[in-house]
Amino acid sequence: MNKKDWIEGFAFLLSDKDAHPDLWKTRTLSQMKSWFRDQTAVESVLAIEDPVIYEYQELGAPEHPGDVAFGLSRVFPGKIGHEYYMTKGHFHNIIDTAEVYYGLSGHGILLIENEAGEWKTLPLEPGVASYVPKGYAHRSVNTGEEPLEFFYAFRADAGHNYGRIETTGFSHAVTDE
């Protein structure tokens, strides 16, 4: 996407990864080692392979008030130990930012938690829109057998604060136990 597109408007086929491979970013297990709770399981998997945990689109929305960042994310099926594959999860730098997720394929959970430790899960499945209220960190978890794909949208200047989650984590994990 170029700057002019964001000013004049555009239509974009989100799911066409082959047409726009440069807009897709991946997160592998080696990039997410500390995000999973069972470090023995992490090292065991990494001794054999470095699987892609998830991928997402980076469309380059201008980070200005009033603009909307959006795209697709895809979390692959799998587990590290008993913990399902997931996104890193984040708060927004502008904490008073909400976000919307719309499930396209697969089955999973949107885990949300605020700074006070209040948490809940929301469904992430085809045809379901889930709303993450402002002030909540959020993480997408694939609990199914196929890729979990969803659309997301949030205010473009909100930014992402991954550090707080990497340091303190979520109080709950989604496991098969």
pLDDT digits (tens, 9 = 90+) for 24-71: 999 999 999 999 999 999 999 999 999 999 999 988 888 888 999 999
Question: Is 176 domain-assigned?
Answer: no
* Token pair belonging to 131: 């709303």
β-bridge mates for residue 136, sequence order: 114
Residues in CB range of 3: below 8 A, 6 or more apart: 62
Residue 132 has pLDDT above 70, yes or no: yes
Mean pLDDT of the chain: 93
Residue 24, domain member (yes or no):
yes
CB atoms within 10 A of CB 45: 20
* Residue 99: φ, ψ to 5°: -145, 150
pTM, whole model, 2 decimals?
A: 0.93
For the chain, how many structural domains are there in total?
1
- Return the CATH number at 121: 2.60.120.10
Question: pLDDT value at position 15?
Answer: 74
What is the per-residue pLDDT for 1?
62
* Closest of 140, 141, 21, 14 to residue 84, by C-alpha: 141
